[in-house]
Structure 1
Amino acid sequence: MVEGNISLKSLNDHITCHICNGYLIDATTITECLHTFCKTCIIMWLKEHQVCPMCKDQFLQTRSLLNIRSDPTLQDIVYKIVPGLFTDEMKRRREFYQKHPEAAVNLTSEERGEISGERLIFSPADIFYLSIEYLPEVFSYTYIPLIRSTTVVGSNGFPVNGVEKHNQRRYFKCKGSMKVLHLKKLLQLKYELKRHSDIELLYKHDTLSDDYSMIDLAYIYSWRRNGHLSLYYKISNTV
């Protein structure tokens, strides 16, 4: 069991390509020895060599390109733990295919650098919307839409002019790099508490670590960009 923060440098041997020495892009694995490289790097290598660049396992020349497989799971891990890598790679692809549109034929949107809204890859600069409420005695998972007010509809099915039902829930806008500790300190100032440790921040009934960033919460709880992240808090030891 590893405790505390793990440095990115300590993971480099597992998430870098041993041909170009950069972080893996389009991670592709040799099925025999399970060593992984950038897709472009390993294809170019196998055009001139029939051995793995790392372990030197020999492949039959006619089958070398058939012995590699895309590894999207590993690629997602690399994108998630290397800050800005996904955003930078998508930008690089868009710029390339804008200059060479003929090369973009039959490519997927991600291969062209077009980021899908449902792609669960976040960057520290991404904007998050939070609701932060006191934990109720009876917990409800009812979703309240992210709106300021709702038009009241009369019994005849038509909207009542000038009458609105206001949503009392307020939302907090922040960047993905914000940590749970920062939110605790915000609540500490709001309620004039002596210590931020008097506050417990939760997602549903899960207590959140001070070191968690909003990106961490998005990955842990599969947050989607088209909604808000509902957080709750409890206050104790205030006497």
Structure 2
Amino acid sequence: MAATGRKHLVRDFNHFITCYLCRGYLIKPTTVTECLHTFCKGCIVQHFEDSNDCPKCGIQVHETNPLEMLRLDNTLEEIIFKLVPGLREKEEQQELDFWRKNQPKADAPENLRCQRFCLPDDGGDGDDGDDEDCHRSDPQIAICLDCLRSTGQAGERTVTDLMKRFIRCSSRVTVGTIKKFLSLKLKLPSSYELDVLCNGEIMGRDHTLEFIYMTRWRLHGDNTYPMVLEYRPRIDFG
């Protein structure tokens, strides 16, 4: 006679799918590579603003920049969404509500309104247009791209201001894509390298706008919306 299997409840797995810091279900589960402890992305990023140690085991994650030791666990995220009915939809709705709330108002002056920036795989070239999909299903973010003025050193290359500095795009856009957008709009040669900075810190090519907003912009005092990114010709220190 076949044995009847025990039916497992979600609470049976809570120890594995809840965050040590907020005690809620893991949202964008992010693992510390030094000790393999996992937390909500927002929780661990905020924790590292004040400490370089893992909040669970106390190990020093990194002497200066513990954020470098974080990795998103997309597989665990999918497991959690399958275990907890309605969690994915709830989180996606909260993200959309947040970005809608923080977008510039429709009655803002013309020079403060955003053009829509299409990702390369949309077939767009960065111009605004209603016919492009522009990843509208993604959470959107508005940013301001400011030209960082040159220091006036002899032989230093220069770049100019954009005609439209305010753009709106998917929060999943990377710095690498922003650089391509700038090169296109400023008509720069392919060999021309740019640095993109937030609050004076050079951002990596693979950093997404969402990651920069959460780790470099939102947590720095009185910063307003939209998020400001600066660009300049790449400076070689070697």
Which structure has the larger Rg over C-alpha atoms? 1
Whether these two folds match at TM > 0.5 is no
Normalising by structure 2, report the TM-score. 0.42
Normalising by structure 1, report the TM-score. 0.42
